[in-house]
Structure 1
């Protein structure tokens, strides 16, 4: 008998298979002068990677200012959050309106959870 671990142990085989060999790829890249970097077609002003004009990530991040939260002050009104488009005023309740969901009839209110259901929820459904 062969143990399961020994039977399942095998060397890693990659799922991707490349056509040709590595030497042929290197020869093809040398024929196309791969050592000379060229700018990307979408690069601005033809900036090539690794050139003097190309900025590193550290340079860009060092020039950024830290994030700062500033309160908004509306200069057109006396109160900071008022808007002339919206006029909110307290009003009384109309017929059929309720102040809270607890004012609903009993058949529409949430049913209380009993202790057995709380225990089942706390145990992850296992009793």
Structure 2
């Protein structure tokens, strides 16, 4: 191996550090008293997790319909002429408050012209 590759070949060290160990977490979960579980404030009718009224994942998935891919049929394809574009935008007049160009905006909203020094700074990558 190349010496630099040997220096870089180290054991992966995760950046996330967990407090405690897995065995302690299992003990905490086993010692928890699940008889004191209270319903979530947003639930309706005081529904508790794991109660007989809760649906299992298998029950939910059994009622789910399979996903079908339906091909798209363009209803306007028969009306399309060879020279027409896919989208037809009919011309309309401007409504009150609409502008035709950004140059019709008030002066304070228009772009300010770029002077020579700024153009040179842009062309040189920001270095003057």
- TM-score (structure 1 length as normaliser): 0.38
Larger radius of gyration: 1
